[in-house]
Chain A
Amino acid sequence: MRLVLDREQEQLRSTVRKMLADHCAPARVREVMESPEGHDLPLWRRISGELGLAGLVVPERHGGSGAGHVERAIVLEELGRALAPVPYFASAVLAVDTVLALGDDTLTADLLPRLASGELIGTIAMGDRGTPTVTATAAGELTGSAAPVLSGDIADVVLVYASAPGGPAWFRAAPAGRTTLRTLDPTRRLARLDFADTPAERVDCADAAAVLEQVRDTAAVALAAEQLGGMSHVLESTAEYAKVRVQFGRPIGSYQAVKHSLADIYIAYEQAVSLARYAAWAADADQEALPLAAATAADFVGPAYFAAAANGLQLHGGIGFTWEHDAHLYYKRAKTSELLFGDPGSRRARLADRLGI
Chain B
Amino acid sequence: MNAFRDKVRHWLAANAPRPGDSPAGDEITVAKRFQAALHDAGLAGLTWPEEFGGQGLTAAEQQIFNEEAGAYDLPTALFTIGLGMCGPTLVDLGTTEQKARYVKPLLRGEEVWCQLFSEPGAGSDVASLQTRAVRDGDEWVVNGQKVWTSGAQFSDFGALLARTNPDVPKHKGITMFIVDMHAPGVTVRPLKDMTGRAPFNEVYFDDVRLPGDAVLGEVDAGWAAAVTMLGHERVSIGGSVRRRYDPLAYAGLADLARRTGRAQDPAVRAELAALHTAERALALFNARLRQEADAGTPPGARGSVAKLAGAELAWRAVSVAGLIAGPGAVAWDDEEGDHLALALTAAPASRIAGGTDQVQRTIIGERILGLPKEPQVDRDVPFRELRVGTQRQA
Contact = CB atoms under 8 A, between A and B. Distances in A.
Interface of A: 1-4, 235, 239, 242-243, 250-251, 253-256, 258-260, 262-264, 266-267, 270-275, 277-278, 296, 299-300, 345, 348-349, 351-352, 355, 357
A182 B233 CA distance: 52
B276 interface: yes
Contacts of B266: 349
B276 A253 contact: no
Contacts of B291: 2-4
Contact of B362 (A256, A300, A348, A351): A256
Tell me which of B272, B274, B281 has the highest count of chain A C-beta atoms within 10 A of its own C-beta.
Answer: B281
Contacts of A256: 358, 361-362, 374
A262 B363 CA distance: 11
Nearest to B290: A3
A277 B285 CA distance: 10
B281 to A, nearest CB: 4
A345 B370 CA distance: 36
Nearest to B282: A271
Contact of A243 (B270, B281, B372): B372
Interface of B: 254, 257-258, 263, 266, 269-270, 272-274, 276-278, 280-282, 284-285, 287-288, 291-292, 295, 302, 305, 308-309, 358, 360-362, 364-366, 368-375
B273 A4 contact: no
Contact of A349 (B269, B370, B374, B375): B269
Contact of A254 (B263, B280, B287, B373): B373
Contacts of A2: 291
B295 to A, nearest CB: 6
A348 B257 CA distance: 17
B364 A275 contact: no
B285 A271 contact: yes
Given A271-B309, A349-B266, A243 B280 contact: no
A296 to B, nearest CB: 5
A250 B257 CA distance: 51
A32 B263 CA distance: 49
B269 A4 contact: no
A266 B287 CA distance: 18
B274 A270 contact: no
Given A259-B361, A263-B364, A271-B282, A253 B372 contact: yes
B23 to A, nearest CB: 35
Contact of A300 (B263, B277, B305, B358): B277
A3 to B, nearest CB: 4
Nearest to B307: A267
A352 B258 CA distance: 13
B260 to A, nearest CB: 13
A225 B214 CA distance: 51
A243 B305 contact: no
Contacts of A345: 270
Contacts of A349: 266, 269-270, 273
15 contacts: A3-B291, A243-B371, A253-B369, A254-B371, A255-B374, A259-B365, A259-B371, A260-B358, A263-B365, A271-B282, A271-B305, A274-B285, A296-B276, A355-B254, A355-B273
B254 A357 contact: yes
A255 B358 CA distance: 12
B281 A271 contact: yes
Given A239-B369, A271-B284, A274-B288, 16 more contacts: A3-B284, A242-B371, A243-B371, A251-B372, A259-B369, A270-B285, A271-B285, A273-B288, A274-B287, A277-B288, A299-B277, A349-B269, A351-B273, A355-B272, A357-B254, A357-B257
Contacts of A259: 361-362, 365-366, 369, 371
Contacts of A251: 371-372
Contacts of B362: 256, 259-260, 263
A297 to B, nearest CB: 9
B275 to A, nearest CB: 10
A268 to B, nearest CB: 9
Contacts of B372: 243, 250-251, 253-254
Contacts of A299: 273-274, 277
A264 B284 CA distance: 18
A3 B283 CA distance: 12
Contact of B272 (A3, A267, A357): A357
A253 B360 CA distance: 15
B277 A351 contact: yes
Contact of A352 (B273, B278, B371): B273
A267 B371 contact: no
A22 B371 CA distance: 29
Contact of B281 (A242, A264, A274): A274
Contact of A357 (B273, B371, B373): B273
